[in-house]
Amino acid sequence: MAVRNRQQAAFTLIEMMVTVIILGILVSIALPSYQKYVLKAHRADAIALLNETAAREERYYAQNNSYVTSDGEMSNLGLRNNGASDNAYYQLSLAEGGDEDAGYVLTATVQGTQAADSECLDFTLNGAGERGVTGSESANTCW
């Protein structure tokens, strides 16, 4: 009876280490891009909050001939979540507009993990429809 010398098919330690290094490089490139994309997608939360509140402000004005211009009166607008956005990435605040055309100024202030989005932090919208943003980008880019 002849003895056969069989080799087993297996990974060597070097092959495993090369694979781990390649995966590490891919993750280090992909993760920051993904995180930036997620932060950008969460901006829709602020935009939705401001647009819904502006519509409620106009409805309130049509019924009461005045705008809600303070955080204490926010309950008059019937907003969900006490002025927090649906996913709690932004918190709404109200102020009186600077001129009579504006009427009110709505500000969506960044909260929690969304504060890492340094490009577009706080969003503003006034009664005249003027959009604004704090951060390193312009309002047109963020909106």
> Torsions phi, psi of 45, nearest 5?
-60, -45
DSSP symbol at 137: S
pLDDT of residue 5: 64
Residue pair 112/125 in contact by the 8 Å Cβ criterion: no
Helix (H, G, I), strand (E, B) or coil at 115: helix
Determine the Cα angle at 116 with ends 121 and 109, to 5°: 30
CA gap 67, 65 in Å, rounded: 7
Residue pair 46/57 in contact by the 8 Å Cβ criterion: no
Going from the N-terminus, what domains does the chain have, and what CATH number goes with each? 13-141 (3.30.700.10)
Count of other CB atoms within 10 angstroms of residue 131: 15
pLDDT of residue 1: 58
Residue pair 110/85 in contact by the 8 Å Cβ criterion: no
The H or E element spanning position 106 is strand 104-110
- Which tokens belong to 67? 């705008």
pLDDT of residue 32: 87
Residues 6+ apart with CB under 8 A from 123: 43, 46, 47, 50, 90, 107, 108, 131, 132, 133, 142, 143
- Each of the 143 residues of the chain gets a pLDDT tens digit; together they read 566 666 667 778 899 999 999 999 999 999 888 999 999 999 999 999 999 999 999 999 999 999 998 888 888 998 888 889 989 999 999 998 876 667 899 999 999 999 999 899 999 999 988 999 998 888 888 88
Q: What is the pTM of this model?
A: 0.78
